[in-house]
Structure 1
Amino acid sequence: MPRLVLASQSPARLATLKSAGVTPDVIVSGVDEDKVLVDAADRFGELDPADAVLVLAQAKAEEVAARLEGAVVDTSDDAASDTADVIDTADVIVVGCDSMLEIDGTVVGKPADAATARERWRSMRGSKGVLHTGHWLVDLRDDSSGGTGGTLGSTSSTTVWFADIDDDEIDAYVATDEPLYVAGAFTIDGLGGPYIERIEGDHHGVVGISLPLLRELLGELGVPWRVLRTP
């Protein structure tokens, strides 16, 4: 039975998968995201946000897949891995993800500090943005487990409308520190939920991993969602 390895340290992505009945192994990638984007821009020209998140998701998935194929999982205190033992890849599919918020054609990531988060929310309130989440899969399964050797991905893009909240609400939300650790300085499944008026697209994509898109990509590898194995 196939199982997932999640190449992400995001608690929200892990919780989303668990809520859908899948508990993946977690191995956090060690890619330099800035370098990946610079290298991609040198090769392909300026990337739009939907492509940028896909490039990063691919880099994360492939870096973790390469480590697994080499049977090298560093478990020291400063390692990027959260896995205690070397994983047998015979039935493994690696999934990497990355998210960015686009507002008026400009990408905004995690705010550097509370002041940036407050300014971000003052500019976002009463407006809308598009949350892009790239997904990339690497099939490491062997032939006996139905492995295809495939590697593929796609991007989920969801439009988010932000409530027209006042300065006191912004200050109170930023004081929770939650906006400092998430793309776009907001969550939809946490403390930021009351400040999101509506969305157009997949709710899970805003959280950080689109379950319908993941199901579709797994299907292209010949893996029905219902057969995913949990540890």
Structure 2
Amino acid sequence: MPTPRFILASASPARRILLQQVGIEADVQPSTVDEDALLRDLATRYGDLEPADLVLALARAKAEDVAHNTDALVLGCDSMLELDGEVHGKPADAAEATQRWRRMRGRSGTLHTGHWLIDDRDDGSGGLIGATASTVVHFADLTDAEIEAYVATGEPLRVAGAFTVDGLGGAFVTGIEGDHHNVVGLSLPLLRDLLADLGLPWFALT
């Protein structure tokens, strides 16, 4: 059985690298979904949704935006950090990242990642399936100077939640409850389950 083409509908380098580390070569085709517009539309239509539902809706929209006659498996993902009942994606600017970290330091939040997988292969099932993985993240009690130095690197502006666990922010994560891959942006165990639901074994992609 030939290895199916696999498309990652995300511009996240961390997700692509994570897939490469487990032997999955993904073609990267970022979606053109306007996330802010979609979130406003969801709020208008459904009111306040749970964070897990928000990221799943965004992941589905991204996968569906890309999956058009691709002859491939298409995966959309989206991550947000939940803190005090509020959800946070990428900070808009350095000031927001600094403010965010002043709230996060010494506390815990939940990183939610929605996954949506579409079998868009010409001879595939045509199936589509999704789920959300949630991981509790414990943050170190950073000083103001550490926060300013970290924000100055630019890394917090590029990632959901304003932190990484696999980059410069790793020193500021004191513990994780759940799948640590999910904090990088893609839950490998959940992806395995989604593939199985579509009738594909994990090693079919490697």
Shorter-chain TM-score bucket reads over 0.9
Structure 2: unaligned runs, 5 residues or longer:
none
What are the within-5 Å matches in structure 2 for residues 92-131 of structure 1?
Answer: 92-131=72-111
Unmatched runs of 5 consecutive residues or more in structure 1: 70-86
Displacement of 1:142 in angstroms is 2.7
With normalisation by structure 1, the TM-score equals: 0.85
> What displacement does 1:44 show?
3.0
2:10 maps to amino acid: S
Given the alignment of the two structures, is residue 135 of structure 1 paired with residue 112 of structure 2, yes or no? Answer: no
In structure 2, the residue matched to 1:75 is none
Q: 1:103: how far off?
A: 0.2
Counterpart position of 2:14: 12
The aligned residue for residue 153 of structure 2 is: 176
**Cα distance in 2 for residues equivalent to 1:226 and 1:138:** 18
Query: Which one of the candidate residues 179, 188, 197 is aligned to 1:202?
Result: 179
Partner of 2:42: 40
**Aligned match for 2:138, one of 161, 170, 190:** 161
Alpha-carbon shift at residue 45 of structure 1 (Å): 3.0
Q: How many residues are matched?
A: 204
Kindly provide the CA deviation profile for residues 31-59 of structure 1, in whole angstroms up to 9, marking residues without a partner as x.
11122222223333321110000000000
1:29 aligns with 2:31: yes
Distance in 2 (alpha carbons) for counterparts of 1:215 and 1:164: 35
SS at structure 2 position matched to 1:192: helix
Matches within 5 A, 1:63-74: 63-66=65-68, 69=69
Residue 125 of structure 2 corresponds to residue 148 of structure 1 = yes
For 2:191, the aligned partner's letter is L
After superposition, the C-alpha distances for 1:132-166 in whole angstroms (9 at most, x for unaligned) are 000001111233xxx11111100010000000111
- SS at structure 1 position matched to 2:67: helix
Distance in 2 separating the partners of 1:108 and 1:56: 13
Q: Which has the larger radius of gyration?
A: 1
CA distance in structure 2 between the aligned counterparts of 1:192 and 1:9, rounded to whole angstroms? 20
Over aligned residue pairs, what C-alpha RMSD do you find?
A: 1.2
Q: Which sits farther off after the overlay, 170-179 or 130-139? A: 170-179
Q: Distance in 2 between matches of 1:40 and 1:117?
A: 25
Superposed CA offset, 1:18-43 (max 9, x none)? 01111111111001112222222333
One-letter identity of the residue aligned with 2:74: V
**How many Å separate the matches in 1 of 2:98 and 2:166?**
20
- Structure 2 CA distance for aligned equivalents of residues 43 and 159 of structure 1: 29
TM-score (norm 2): 0.95
The residue aligned with 2:168 is: 191
Identity %: 63
Deviation (angstroms), 1:192: 0.1
Measured in 2, the distance between the counterparts of 1:104 and 1:46 equals 15
Matched residues in 2 for 1:35 and 1:168: separation? 35
Partner of 1:76 in structure 2? Answer: none
